[in-house]
């Protein structure tokens, strides 16, 4: 099953709900690619031996990996962590996440500053480019198992909005405006 994405309604209700606009406005993989969001569908049941995952990691230089179970029973200060993940921010590097179980939402800003909600489930590997405004939350199942990938040592620092002068944000905006409508290859 391919990833699902849609434009979000403006709502203060539970962040774990889908928040579809009415009527629902789906977002294509091509539209996500124009924003620099990359996606692969892999086999989460055999990730240790997955040749496609190995090729992706090698070709993109993802040499660090760890696993994270995110749920109330396994994470200390769960509500606080979820609140922090849901605060709009950027990173100076790509954010690479491979869902091995459960599900959750990555929300990214489009060129018009609207939220796009991306629902990731087991088998979805997603790459958010450096400098894109985003946030993360679980869905109502309250569980996700993620593989986190990095180039080199992991950098966990989020830079909360506004960050228009951050070098990663400036580079992201430059790449978006140089070739509008053309898929961005995340760096």
- Pick from 148, 150, 115: nearest CA to 132: 115
Tell me if the bond preceding 134 is cis, omega within 30° of 0.
no
Sign (positive/negative) of CA torsion 56, 59, 62, 63? positive
Residue ranges for the known binding site are: 89, 91, 95, 134
Provide CB contacts within 8 A for 65, sequence distance 6+: 57, 147, 148, 149, 150
Residue ranges for the known binding site for Ni(2+) are: 89, 91, 95, 134
Tokens of residue 61, six digits: 């230089």
Residue ranges for the known binding site for Fe(2+) are: 89, 91, 95, 134
181: left (phi over 0), alpha (psi -120 to 50) or beta: left
- How many CA atoms are closer than 13 Å to the CA of 34, on its beta-carbon side? 15
């Amino acid at each position: 099953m391919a990833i699902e994405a849609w434009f979000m309604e403006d709502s203060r209700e539970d962040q774990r709900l889908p928040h579809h606009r009415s009527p629902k406005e789906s977002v294509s993989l091509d539209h996500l690619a124009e924003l620099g969001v990359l996606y692969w569908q892999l086999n989460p049941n055999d990730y240790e031996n997955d040749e496609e995952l190995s090729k992706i990691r090698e070709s993109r230089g993802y040499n660090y990996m760890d696993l994270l179970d995110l749920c109330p029973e396994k994470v200390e200060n769960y509500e606080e962590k979820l609140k922090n993940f849901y605060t709009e921010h950027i990173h100076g590097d790509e954010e690479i996440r491979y869902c091995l179980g459960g599900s959750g939402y990555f929300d990214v800003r489009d060129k018009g500053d609207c939220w796009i909600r991306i629902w990731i489930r087991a088998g979805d590997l997603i790459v958010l480019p450096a400098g894109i405004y985003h946030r993360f939350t679980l869905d109502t199942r309250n569980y996700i198992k993620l593989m986190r990938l990095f180039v080199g040592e992991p950098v966990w620092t989020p830079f909360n909005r506004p960050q228009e002068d951050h070098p990663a944000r400036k580079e992201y905006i430059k790449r978006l405006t140089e070739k509008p409508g053309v898929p961005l290859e995340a760096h």
